[in-house]
Amino acid sequence: MTHNTTIQLLSAGAIEPGLVAAVAYYNARGTAPVHITWATTPAIRGRLADGENEGDVFDIVLASVDAIDDFSRQQKVDGNKRVAAGRVGVGVFARNDVAVPDVSSVDAIKQAVLSAESVVFNRASSGLYVETLMKQLGLYERILAKTKRFDNGPAMMEHLINGKGREIAFGAIIEILMFRDQGLKLAAPLPPEVQNWTYYAAAPMLAAPNAAGAQSFLDYLASAPVKALFAAHGIE
């Protein structure tokens, strides 16, 4: 990993559209550029885990708030300098050629899941919640044989774009919107009673090679224009 003056950012992919836009504006200012390494929050936990190499070192980590809390307790990041990045909800989606399922209530979700030919979700933060929800609704074992899991959102979307039959999928709404021009559509967000908001935050690593650059970018992330930019890309 090359640092020099580059700001190395390890980030969860769920807020990719907003973060990519924000980094593009930041890099255009001519200051130290930001380089993003993408990973799911579970993968980020693995990369920062203690081991022979004491985990990977970046300047900034952007992940779910729960993960940042854990990294702060593990003295990997400075939790006191964290910046809120926003929240992302979960939605139901399908290919354009599949009838939009009714998911307006918990009972409707049950019917949609049971009647689908296959149910798709990932192993990232949103997928872990969907797995928990399916268990809470008593559906997980009933649909296990027709469930398809993928390591991350893009892999799941690629499968769906090229899929067939009555497949429905669950994922972060912002990721769904990224692929709406490629043959996928959002049916609806999960209803309020079972909606899950994943909150994201960024924090500098305590061992950051470019601590000054990390703080500069975090100050930028906290600014009102960046918050507006994130909101425009579906990150509340």
Tokens for 185?
């559509």
Q: Delineate the domains of the chain, giving CATH numbers in brackets.
A: 7-86+199-232 (3.40.190.10), 90-194 (3.40.190.10)
pTM over 0.85: no
Tokens for 190?
């999960």
pLDDT for 24: 96
Paired sense of beta strands 118-122 and 147-150, if any: parallel
For residue 13, count CB atoms less than 10 angstroms from its CB and return exposed for 0-12, middle for 13-18, buried for 19 or more.
buried
Distance CA 117, CA 55 (A): 41
Place of tokens 């400075």: 78
Each residue's pLDDT tens digit in the chain (236 positions)? 444 589 999 999 888 889 999 999 999 988 889 999 999 888 899 999 864 456 788 999 999 999 999 999 999 999 999 999 999 999 999 999 988 889 999 999 999 999 999 999 998 888 999 999 999 999 999 999 999 999 888 888 899 999 889 999 999 888 887 788 898 888 899 999 999 998 999 999 999 999 999 999 999 999 999 999 998 887 88
pLDDT for 26: 96
Distance CA 196, CA 88 (A): 8
Distance CA 156, CA 36 (A): 21
Q: In what order do the strands lie in the sheet with 7-12?
A: 34-39, 7-12, 60-64, 198-204, 83-88
